Amino acid sequence: MAQIKAFNGIRYNEQYNEDIAKLTAPPYDVISEQQQKALYDIHPYNVIRLEYGLTQGDNETDNRYTRAAEYLEQWLQDGILAQDKSPAIYVYQQSFTLDGGRRLTRTGFISLVKLEEFSKGIVLPHEYTLSKPKTDRLNLMRACKANFSQIFSLYEDSDAKVSRILEGIIRQPADMDFIDDEGISNRLWSIYDQDAIKAIQHTMADKQLFIADGHHRYETALNFRDEMRMITGKSDGEQPFDYVMMMMVAMEDPGLVILPTHRIIKNIKGLDKDTLLTDIASEFDVQALNVCSCEVSTVIAQHETDEMPFFIYYDGRRFYALQLKSWADVDKALPDKPRAYKQLDVSVLHSLIINRLLKIDEYSAAQQTYITYTRDISEAVETVKDGDDAQLAFILRPTKIEQVKAVALAGEKMPQKSTYFYPKLLTGLVIYKF
């Protein structure tokens, strides 16, 4: 199954440890244009210059990818970045507070993982990918021959064998320990001990890996591997480009959190919301709720285990709870999909309402022509209240870890924006150069 490998990570020189919060960045795909510029300004050596550089009159020979490669080479020469002298596996832990004040800690480890086609069932996806982000990531990989950020994956550890190994490591002082600008505590430990590394490799040898975040980067790494095999003629499976840097977290980890992503419907010409609600009522029991937006999370929690899939903020004044009348309607709408897929709240919403009643196809959903997404219920509500283009908001429950696993094992992929793993992994803690 999964082949785990230690590597000589590249990290910021220890002299920059006090500045590390100013040197790291969120994953490239959640960074806004405004945040991108702010990261440039916060420190001259921020990893944004490597991972997601600004476009500045780019052309074929001078662009964000060539500049990233130049920065990487120069920073290594100047000692801003330094490569570990011994192969290591890195333990990465994040502590954070959710709404309501609940404090959680998520622990995993960063290593190399041998690239495998999805068809082998060793590494499994759960989301669709788009061509534009993969082209961007491939151009960066070609220029830099490096992974600047980790793919985030999950594995089963029901007997806690891996967790016990990691627990022994985190009793020691961390190599890095800092709080980022979102108030999340980030800690990193290096495992150089060969016995501990071999124990992790042995324990992970029978595991399947389920990609949580980083589908585009994983598929890009596969494409780059195939490209390099053609160029070099080396296809023994043990070249540096046959591996990708990955963060792995046990599904049983108490700090593993998926947040829901709510849908805001906009720009639907001629939308009659009263007619829509009547049409919805043909397949859902519709219950008006006398609650404010701050109370909806509590209502959602109360319906965590029942068949009330989601809620609609309808007329700028009121929430409605929608409870599916019959799963036969979902079976009819999705005849070729496995049961695990049909039981997702987002699948019910998209198949019965967004696709069928609102006539928004999956391409338009992905392009956000008629849908925008938010994790904040209050933002969804205020956007609809403000009027303008926003017309409705659908408020969803979070997808469960078990559902992610079931869909992946069924060989299926979820609708866009089905999962939001929180918190995001920081980029810039460790780099893999190949």
Predicted confidence (pLDDT) per residue in 257-295, tens digit: 999 999 999 999 999 988 999 999 999 999 888 777 667
Q: Kindly state the DSSP code that residue 267 receives in the 8-state scheme.
A: -
- For residue 189, the number of C-alpha atoms closer than 13 Å in the C-beta half-sphere is 21
Angle, CA 335 vertex, CA 332 and CA 339 arms, to 5°: 100
d(CA 80, CA 43): 13
User: If 0-12 CB within 10 Å is exposed, 13-18 middle and 19+ buried, where does residue 61 land?
Assistant: exposed
User: If 0-12 CB within 10 Å is exposed, 13-18 middle and 19+ buried, where does residue 345 land?
Assistant: buried
pLDDT at 99: 77
pLDDT score of 304 more than 70? no
Could you report how far apart the first and last alpha carbons of the chain are, in Å? Answer: 23
Give this prediction's pTM: 0.92
385 touches 264 (CB < 8 A) = no
Helix orientation angle between 131-144 and 215-232, rounded to the nearest 10 degrees: 50
d(CA 424, CA 27): 7
Over the chain, what is the mean pLDDT?
93
Residue 343's nearest CA partner among 382, 384, 305, 298 is 305
d(CA 125, CA 118): 7
User: If 0-12 CB within 10 Å is exposed, 13-18 middle and 19+ buried, where does residue 63 land?
Assistant: middle
pLDDT digits (tens, 9 = 90+) for 101-158: 889 999 999 999 999 999 999 999 998 887 888 999 999 999 999 999 999 999 999 9
pLDDT digits (tens, 9 = 90+) for 197-228: 999 999 999 999 999 999 999 999 999 999 99
User: If 0-12 CB within 10 Å is exposed, 13-18 middle and 19+ buried, where does residue 303 land?
Assistant: middle
Residue 311's nearest CA partner among 395, 371, 391, 398 is 395
3-class secondary-structure state, position 91: strand
pLDDT score of 332 more than 80? yes
d(CA 186, CA 21): 9
Token couple for 154: 């999950």
d(CA 136, CA 314): 38
